[in-house]
Structure 1
Amino acid sequence: MTAETSIETDAIGRGTSRSAAGIVARGGSWMIGARLLRTMVTILGMIVLARLLTPSDFGVVALTATVTVLSLVILEGAIDVPTVRRDDLTRDDVQSMIWTALLFLAPLAGALYVAAPAIETAMQFEHLAPALRGIIPIILLQVFFVTGSALLRRQHRFRSAAMASLGSVTVYMTLAVILAALGWGLWSIIIAQNISMLLTALFVAHQTRIGLRWPRRFSFAAVGPVGAYGAGSRILAWFWSSIDTIAVAATLGPAAAGLYTRAYNINIQLKEPFSALDGPTRQALITVRNRDGQVTAQAVIMLRLITIAVAGIAAVCAVLREPIVMLLLGSQWLAAAPVLGILMIGLPARIALNFFDGLAAVAGSMPNMILRHILMCGVIGGGVFLAAPYGMRAVAGLVCGALYLALLLPARAGERRLTGGRLPLLGAMAPGLAIGGGMLALGEFVLVPLANGSQILALLIVLPATALIALLIGLVLPASWLPDALRRRRRALLRLGSREALT
């Protein structure tokens, strides 16, 4: 049954792709392409908005964003995880999940509306209460966005999922810039977010033919234990990934929160293209699991290449932290540069943790995912308020260290059966981390000093040098580290280069 015809029936099947490499290559190309374009649009919007809005405006937006991200991660856990994981999914199940989510979120949205003034008073953030009330429609619309996106990925309709993702941020950034230029301040962002989420939710609902229809047999069990574990793990992940912003805001004030979140946002934008691989990667690993019962070899190849790419990019961005902040945000945001550099060092660990969560979901070993996030909550939640009085750098350093610490949590039985344990995966990360560390040291202690304080010259020195290093690394990587498709392409490229050299 194809993805297109399965939409018309009660049972919602998976896409018909059988090759893991094919799913990652085709789905990954669409999702990564969309994320790259999303990142470009976001960065362009950031460049303009950083010059139209104040750090305090961004501080308020950062706190409202923690709320919308919380609702989003709850939905991703409760709806996205079981939609991807379950083999016997029906349209009634989907409608039950939608209504379960709405019945859960509606009271929370009402409580947020009532509590908003008290939250503003406690945080001492001007305009926070109306901003919190302004994001309530986004919270409810996310139900349809998450459900539709999950169904598109389940059916391997990655092109439609990519279009929804790209269209959402394009509408958001375009409207935000226009409204900010007209003097709407932080409301330019909130209004743009509402309109963007509405249009995106309508698009994915139309693509997957979901809506507000009450299921023929409503059941809270449609979410199931997998969804409960997924939601629990995502809430914990939200806590440890947001508590640093809350700690900075509560301790250092709105302006510091704005500076910290701009650095964090740049870090997240660089994470986006690699996060786009999450959906195709999970589908590919499910295909391998159903065929072979174990995914160790495939997971090692994937994680090794991902870590090499992420660590190299993170090293370059850490070295060029000041030029990046100057170009993207302007000189008034330069205090965010050290925070950006520290957070970049933790980027490989952040991507690897996402990969480990994907493996846990594929293996059905959700308790280990929960334990990993509990560890992060304990370390980060317990430390950021102690670190915050020492400044934003101390908070960023604590977060970075906790990310690497979480990688060491042993795998449970379900994951060990599927992947062979944690040691092969940590070993797969080692080459990438070594390459990233070497590039960071070279840039920090050799290349940047050559610029003699000139940020433009630093860019002109560091970027070509690291591009050459990346090319050399790509040429000398062992063939056994590469998937068949990349191995063939590199061999063809080398043959072509040899022929051109002879002629």
Structure 2
Amino acid sequence: MGARAIGVAGTLAMTRYLHPKQIGEVSDAVIVAMTANWATIWGFGQYTVIKGRGDDAAEVTWHATVAYMTLGALSLGLVALFGGELMPFFDAPRAAAYIPLLALALFIRRIGAIPERVLQRQMKFRAAGMALFAGEIVYTITSLSLAANGHGGWSIVIANVVQSCVVVVVLVRASGIASWATPTPLKWSRFADMLKYGVPLGVQGLAHGASRYWDNLTISHYFGPGATGAYNMAYNLADIPAVQVGEQIAMVLMPSMAELPKERRAAALERSTALLSIIIFPLAVGLGLVAYPLIALIL
């Protein structure tokens, strides 16, 4: 969570150097690229954590790696080539130039996705946390340095690529290549089981991403990227309790619950949800109460 706090602080400081329109253009490009990424994340990571245990660990992990990388290359390659055609519809034609590098950043991040899940499966959360921390530090330094030197929206785009590289290097080094990239014979039956397990999660993930981000594209279409930049900053601040706190705890809960006997999982889920509510709801209410003086202070 400390790493997330650094990232949020860096994002807020970015408003000192970039116009809301520049932030909005990058935001539009990021959302288009992320949508292509979500479209091919079909629960392979969760499958690796839940099913990749015992004698099947190597087979499950290798199949997840192949599926994740192949589908990612397809969807992100297509958006890199053709995603820019969508940007005039969102009144952000200049954002088209950002999409190829953002797609590259997302693909690089995919390389580290299965290693991260392997670490979670092994309950090694420290390594994943250190990767996130290093990535946020590098992102903040890179983006602010470039923005301060007048590179505009490209400062955010380039910082995303640098961040992805750093995160993946840390994750791969911590997990070891053999733990996730040891080839085994590919089986259609395994891929079929992965799809049966993961497609509902993929649909849920795409719907979640759309509910959280596509409204930015609607704002951009009707009011332009300048309004989108301001709207996006406000949304991200309001979302701090859920994303910066709740999602980080949830990342630890999933592999932890997978270790529990099945008969204890329902009660554990109910209890953890209640505890998360006790933490997050007061944070959200408090943030709303201090929103005006907080914005006046930091922006």
- The two structures have a TM-score, normalised by structure 2, of 0.89
Letter of the 2:123 partner, please give it: H
What is the SS of the residue equivalent to 2:260? helix
What is the SS of the residue equivalent to 1:51? coil
Whether the 8 Å CA contact 1:75–1:143 is kept in 2: the answer is no
Whether the 8 Å CA contact 1:116–1:129 is kept in 2: the answer is yes
Tell me, yes or no, if structure 1 residue 153 matches structure 2 residue 120: yes
Tell me, yes or no, if structure 1 residue 288 matches structure 2 residue 260: yes
Determine the structure 1 residue equivalent to 2:186. Answer: 218
What is the SS of the residue equivalent to 2:155? helix
Aligned-pair CA distance for 1:83: 1.3
Aligned-pair CA distance for 1:234: 0.9
**Cα 1:327/1:126, change in 2 over 3 Å:** farther
**Cα 1:146/1:73, change in 2 over 3 Å:** farther
Whether the 8 Å CA contact 2:3–2:137 is kept in 1: the answer is yes
Deviation readout 1:172-217 (Å, 9 max, x if unpaired): 1111001111111000010011011012112212222237957231
Whether the 8 Å CA contact 2:37–2:72 is kept in 1: the answer is no
Determine the structure 1 residue equivalent to 2:295. Answer: 325
Question: Aligned-residue CA RMSD in angstroms?
Answer: 2.2
Cα distance in 2 for partners of 1:299, 1:56 equals 42
Letter of the 2:35 partner, please give it: L
Tell me, yes or no, if structure 1 residue 56 matches structure 2 residue 21: yes
Determine the structure 2 residue equivalent to 1:298. Answer: 268
**Cα 1:154/1:76, change in 2 over 3 Å:** farther
Cα distance in 2 for partners of 1:76, 1:255 equals 31
Larger Rg: 1
Deviation readout 1:75-94 (Å, 9 max, x if unpaired): 65432210122144422432
Cα distance in 2 for partners of 1:178, 1:297 equals 48
Letter of the 1:256 partner, please give it: A
**Cα 1:193/1:238, change in 2 over 3 Å:** same
Tell me, yes or no, if structure 1 residue 195 matches structure 2 residue 149: no
Determine the structure 2 residue equivalent to 1:238. Answer: 209
**Cα 1:206/1:173, change in 2 over 3 Å:** same
Letter of the 2:46 partner, please give it: V
Gaps of 5+ in 2: none
Tell me, yes or no, if structure 1 residue 70 matches structure 2 residue 22: no
Aligned-pair CA distance for 1:270: 2.8
Aligned-pair CA distance for 1:71: 5.1
**Cα 1:209/1:72, change in 2 over 3 Å:** farther
Cα distance in 2 for partners of 1:287, 1:111 equals 38
What is the SS of the residue equivalent to 1:276? helix
Tell me, yes or no, if structure 1 residue 205 matches structure 2 residue 176: no
Deviation readout 1:25-49 (Å, 9 max, x if unpaired): xxxxxxxxxx1x1232123212320
Aligned-pair CA distance for 1:73: 4.2
Among 245, 260, 263, the alignment partner of 2:231 is: 260
117-126 vs 233-242, greater mean Cα deviation = 117-126
What is the SS of the residue equivalent to 2:259? helix
Letter of the 1:198 partner, please give it: C
Among 229, 232, 237, the alignment partner of 2:200 is: 229
Letter of the 1:312 partner, please give it: P
Aligned-pair CA distance for 1:158: 0.8
**Cα 1:146/1:70, change in 2 over 3 Å:** farther
**Cα 1:117/1:80, change in 2 over 3 Å:** closer
Deviation readout 1:283-329 (Å, 9 max, x if unpaired): 33333334xx143443333222221221111111111111122223x
Among 48, 67, 74, the alignment partner of 1:107 is: 74
Letter of the 1:267 partner, please give it: A
Cα distance in 1 for partners of 2:36, 2:165 equals 16
* Percent identity (aligned): 17
Cα distance in 2 for partners of 1:206, 1:253 equals 43
Determine the structure 2 residue equivalent to 1:471. Answer: none
Whether the 8 Å CA contact 1:68–1:138 is kept in 2: the answer is no
Cα distance in 2 for partners of 1:300, 1:109 equals 37
Whether the 8 Å CA contact 1:82–1:226 is kept in 2: the answer is yes
Cα distance in 1 for partners of 2:182, 2:267 equals 44
Among 71, 91, 96, the alignment partner of 1:129 is: 96
Letter of the 1:63 partner, please give it: D
Among 157, 161, 176, the alignment partner of 2:143 is: 176
Letter of the 1:67 partner, please give it: V
What is the SS of the residue equivalent to 1:215? coil
**Comparing both chains, which one has the higher relative contact order based on Cα–Cα distances under 8 Å and sequence gaps of 6 or more?**
2
* Aligned residues between the structures: 292
Cα distance in 2 for partners of 1:283, 1:164 equals 18
Deviation readout 1:265-291 (Å, 9 max, x if unpaired): 11233321221111222233333334x
Cα distance in 1 for partners of 2:254, 2:293 equals 36
Determine the structure 1 residue equivalent to 2:241. Answer: 270
Determine the structure 2 residue equivalent to 1:84. Answer: 49
Cα distance in 2 for partners of 1:208, 1:219 equals 24
Cα distance in 2 for partners of 1:299, 1:99 equals 31
Determine the structure 2 residue equivalent to 1:10. Answer: none
Q: Which structure 2 residues correspond to residues 364-443 of structure 1 after superposition, within 5 A?
A: none
**Cα 1:51/1:256, change in 2 over 3 Å:** same
Cα distance in 2 for partners of 1:104, 1:63 equals 23
Whether the 8 Å CA contact 2:123–2:256 is kept in 1: the answer is no
Cα distance in 2 for partners of 1:313, 1:176 equals 28
Cα distance in 1 for partners of 2:127, 2:198 equals 24
Aligned-pair CA distance for 1:250: 1.0
Q: Which structure 2 residues correspond to residues 466-485 of structure 1 after superposition, within 5 A?
A: none
**Cα 1:57/1:38, change in 2 over 3 Å:** same
